[in-house]
Structure 1
Amino acid sequence: MRSIMIAVFALFFLSACERPANIQTLRGYAQGTTYTVKFWTDKATDNTALKQAIDKELARIDKLMSNYRDDSAIERFNRNQTARQAIAVDKEILAVLRISAEVYQKSQHCYDPTIKPLLQIWGFSDDKLRIPDEKTIAATLKNIGFNQLQRGADHIVKSRGELTVDLSAIGQGYAVAKIARLLEQQQINHYLVEIGGEMLVAGTKPNDKKWQVGVERPVPNKQIVNEVITLTGKRPTAIMTSGTYRHYFDDNGKQYSHILDPRSGKPVEHNSVAVTVLLDDATYADAWSTALLCLGADKGLPIADKHHIPAIFYTMEGKQLRRRPNQTATQQGDYWQIAQ
């Protein structure tokens, strides 16, 4: 009887020791949207202090890069209309613009952070549709073009004083990456960081269970999971989706997408309604999802493969939604599996 009791006690003790850590969840508001951070660790954590650190970091990034607050560093730069002279710029903004420059070139200029004036003349900045005439578009295009900004080690030179920079298509990805880095500095290596639907996932759940992420079906006025991505945990993976199906204007039956082609100055008209990018770098993934959606599937698929960007395009062909992954996405099964 005593040996049985010892065995039972030992089994209980081992079970208690091997009980998996719980997934912790922190939520909050930042950058005009919500964020969720899920993580687990075997080490003790002060969740209150961790959330304060996350909120502080997001507020700091917002003060640097938000195009929706007049006191941000990027908006102060935009108001400075000095041309052909060095304008001091924060090193983090310059780091983001270095990534922007790379995606700008590789996407054939479809991703362009100087696009802000186009968003304004079409009414996407204040959600009031205005259909500009060709003359207005042509005049605005003079102030569009990332190649009109010369970047130095600590400054930018504008070729035209009216040039502005909009970081909204890359800033959330950067913020996601910074929060992931903050977690890793706390020795938290298993996590899911999400800001406004943009996310980065690393490691696994407790007991080596896999993180799973649902990708929404890209149709308006519905929230239906289209497919589920299971992350293997072999590397961090950012999952970034851009779509035309939520933010658009309808004028007499004609839809105008908020995705503007900075080369033509007009909304895109191809049949690609969404694109999901999966990369280990959240900042690049955010920029590339916008770039590829601007290009559309026909032009974007070969460009994504050329530059080794795993991407899944969704196109409307008649009334049917078609899924079009590129070769790079289908060849990286070591990092994820996708169930439709």
Structure 2
Amino acid sequence: MTTPVLSRIAAALAFVALAGCTKAPSVQQLKGFAQGTSYHISYWSAAPIDAPAVKKAVDNEFAVIDKLLSNYRPDSVIESFNSNAAIDSQEVGPEIVQLVRIAETVYQASEGCYDLTIKPLFTLWGFDGETPSLPNDKAIADTLKQIGMPQLTVVDDTHLSKKHAALKVDLSSIAQGYSVESLSRVLEKRGITDYMVEIGGELKTRGQKPDQTAWRIAIEKPLPGEHKLHKILAMPKDAPLAIMTSGTYRHFFEANGQRYGHILDARSGRPVTHDLVGVTVAHADPTIADAWSTALLCLGQEQGLKLANAEHLAALFIRLQNDQLLETRSEAFERLNILTHP
């Protein structure tokens, strides 16, 4: 479903499942490529597991998600909505409507910084292709007239409408979280309650490893060209938890001596310019965590931290100042107590 935008190769801090390398024979692993990135699933159960059936169900779920949410597949449900010039009610199904409802909440809380209708701006800046470039002020101003969450209306549980034909929805900031949750449900429907599901560095864990220790994951340093360990998270064993990250350090281009990242402020139509390079959000729901990680990164350190505390969000902020990485943690993240040191 995803190209580099949806996989957020530019927008995400990479997570690697350290627990996935366990030698315990009872741990089953699935891995491959989907949504323009890699995925890894580790799971185990004391009860017998039909591993081929699990693999088939995972593959089927990826296909369903792709048909629903892919902004790079012309026949997907969301792209059919985008390409339809009609402003009448269109059926998109309950899944997309639920994503829009979550996004509306985050849009309002972020005062418009986060916006699903930002797709025309991604196109203008070239971030949905291979050759991003710097647009002129008039082009930005004209494109801003085409976006805005208030122009997108939830008609009912399965229908959306748009107030002007040019409105287009980009689900890349929320769809990967939805995908992680969907695959988690695939496992749970088969009685699997101990697992780690990861897609492109975005992940969710539940339960523990067979030796009763916690699933552990690593946060990579948010620096261009580096793949070094920054911190390790020991995931809780008593409750599911998702870890979603947005970052500015991979998908960017330079023009006139300035770097432009793919995190766009929907209010200005331009990439953010603050020193916040990554935000990690921990939440029981991967979809909610996915949207909030983008929104908080868009807002920057000061506003983002204030909002995270107001919304009781567990968030880790990483800034880059004078070649130094500086961390700030929200109150809820401190209470989680999952951050360890290498």
- Give the TM-score normalised by the residue count of structure 1: 0.91
Structure 2 counterpart of 1:65, from 60, 63, 69 = 69
Residue 53 of structure 1 pairs with residue 22 of structure 2: no
Q: Residue in 1 aligned with 2:340?
A: 338
Q: Distance in 2 between matches of 1:41 and 1:151?
A: 40
Residue 236 of structure 1 pairs with residue 255 of structure 2: no
Q: Distance in 1 between matches of 2:76 and 2:340?
A: 39
Point out 4+ residue stretches in structure 1 off by more than 2 angstroms: 336-340
Shift of 1:338: 2.8
Shift of 1:22: 2.1
**Paired residues of 2:115 and 2:149 also in contact (CA < 8 A):** yes
Structure 1 counterpart of 2:132, from 114, 129, 150 = 129
Residue 97 of structure 1 pairs with residue 111 of structure 2: no
SS of structure 2 residue aligned to 1:208? coil
Residue 319 of structure 1 pairs with residue 323 of structure 2: yes
SS of structure 1 residue aligned to 2:116? coil
**Paired residues of 1:64 and 1:72 also in contact (CA < 8 A):** yes
Q: Distance in 1 between matches of 2:38 and 2:61?
A: 14
Residue 175 of structure 1 pairs with residue 201 of structure 2: no
**Paired residues of 2:133 and 2:253 also in contact (CA < 8 A):** no
Paired residues for 1:51-200 under 5 Å? 51-83=55-87, 85-153=88-156, 154-200=158-204
SS of structure 1 residue aligned to 2:336? coil
**Paired residues of 1:109 and 1:263 also in contact (CA < 8 A):** yes
Q: Distance in 1 between matches of 2:340 and 2:73?
A: 39
Q: Distance in 2 between matches of 1:131 and 1:37?
A: 39
Q: Which residues of structure 1 form unaligned runs of 5+?
A: 1-19
Q: Residue in 1 aligned with 2:5?
A: none
Give the 3 Å change call, closer, same or farther, for CA 337–234 of structure 1 in structure 2: farther
Q: Which residues of structure 2 form unaligned runs of 5+?
A: 1-23
Q: Distance in 1 between matches of 2:33 and 2:64?
A: 13
Q: Distance in 2 between matches of 1:129 and 1:337?
A: 36
**Paired residues of 2:68 and 2:78 also in contact (CA < 8 A):** yes
Residue 43 of structure 1 pairs with residue 57 of structure 2: no
1:14-55 CA deviation, whole Å, 9 max, x = no partner?
Answer: xxxxxx762111112211112111011011111111111101
Q: Distance in 2 between matches of 1:50 and 1:72?
A: 25
Residue 220 of structure 1 pairs with residue 224 of structure 2: yes
Aligned length, in residue pairs? 318
**Paired residues of 1:248 and 1:256 also in contact (CA < 8 A):** yes
1:57-78 CA deviation, whole Å, 9 max, x = no partner?
Answer: 0110111000011110100000
Shift of 1:252: 3.5
**Percent of residue pairs identical:** 45
Shift of 1:114: 0.3
Q: Distance in 2 between matches of 1:70 and 1:290?
A: 25
Structure of larger gyration radius: 1
Paired residues for 1:172-321 under 5 Å? 172-321=176-325
Q: Which amino acid aligns with 2:278?
A: A
Shift of 1:253: 2.3
Shift of 1:226: 0.0
SS of structure 1 residue aligned to 2:135? coil
Note the aligned Cα RMSD (angstroms). Answer: 1.2
Q: Distance in 2 between matches of 1:44 and 1:277?
A: 34
Shift of 1:275: 0.7
Q: Distance in 1 between matches of 2:132 and 2:82?
A: 23
